[in-house]
Amino acid sequence: MRLYLATSNPHKIQELHALLAEAGLDIEVHTAEALGGMPEVVEDQDSFTGNALKKARALAALLPADGLALADDSGICAVALDHAPGVYSARYAGENASDLDNLYKLLDELDSVQDLDRAGYFACHLASVDASGEETVFVGECHGNIIRKPRGENGFGYDPVFVPLGHERTTAEMSQEEKAELSHRGIATRKFIAWLKERLM
Ligand code: ITT
């Protein structure tokens, strides 16, 4: 079986590659580049699952017969902001906003929110679509708090302001392996791996 990652985000690719590699699956893992690049997808759905399925379906249209497309739609949700930015996480500060612009927009929006009410969570919805069109979705959430000042150099996106429950460091202060143990992407990917192992038996 050949698995194709339906994402253009290099950080997601790196995290997914590492999680899949440690699972010891008998599969080939490719990026969308192997199929000519990730097709343009308008992420206009109001749910992570909806957008993940759109991205996976777009790449699945290009799959070989033994292929499986895997897309990741993810983001951060702040409880005090009615779960914003959620599906808008990648463009919270505008259409061409950088990760840093988005992070500071989140901090601005939460400025008047007291420390006790800064609960939030990362969500990752993975959608897998095979060449026959079979669709399956796997969900992971990582709950914690959104702090006031960025800390740490690892990870990407909103990692420097997110401290998982039961921890004191941000996910940007953790190694990739530590983050993968508890992250939304780690949880969703381990569900996907368990499903894939059954399917390959
Ligand atoms: P693809 O659609 O090509 O996969 P993308 O970066 O546009 O890439 P999304 O639409 O899913 O992906 O947006 C995800 C947003 O949530 C983006 O702003 C990320 O920075 C943020 N995000 C997702 N997972 C994260 C993580 O593990 N750590 C920090 N930020 C994360």
Name the E strands within the chain: 2-5, 28-31, 67-78, 84-85, 119-130, 135-146, 162-164
pLDDT tens by residue, 3-41: 999 999 999 999 999 999 999 999 999 999 999 999 999
Q: How confident is the model at residue 84 (pLDDT cuts 50, 70, 90)?
A: very high
- The answer to whether 73 is a known catalytic residue is yes
User: Is 173 touching ligand 1 by the criterion CB < 6 Å?
Assistant: no
* Measured distance CA(20)–CA(133) in Å, rounded: 22
Count of other CB atoms within 10 angstroms of residue 58:
19
Write down the pLDDT at residue 155.
98
User: Is 102 touching ligand 1 by the criterion CB < 6 Å?
Assistant: yes
What does pTM read for this prediction?
0.98
Write down the pLDDT at residue 67.
98
The yes or no reply on domain 2-200 and CATH 3.40.50.300 is: no
Point out the catalytic residue in the list 46, 66, 73, 111. Answer: 73
Q: Which of 65, 149, 156 is nearest to 111 (CA)?
A: 149
pLDDT tens by residue, 148-179: 999 999 999 999 999 999 999 999 999 999 99
Write down the pLDDT at residue 20.
98
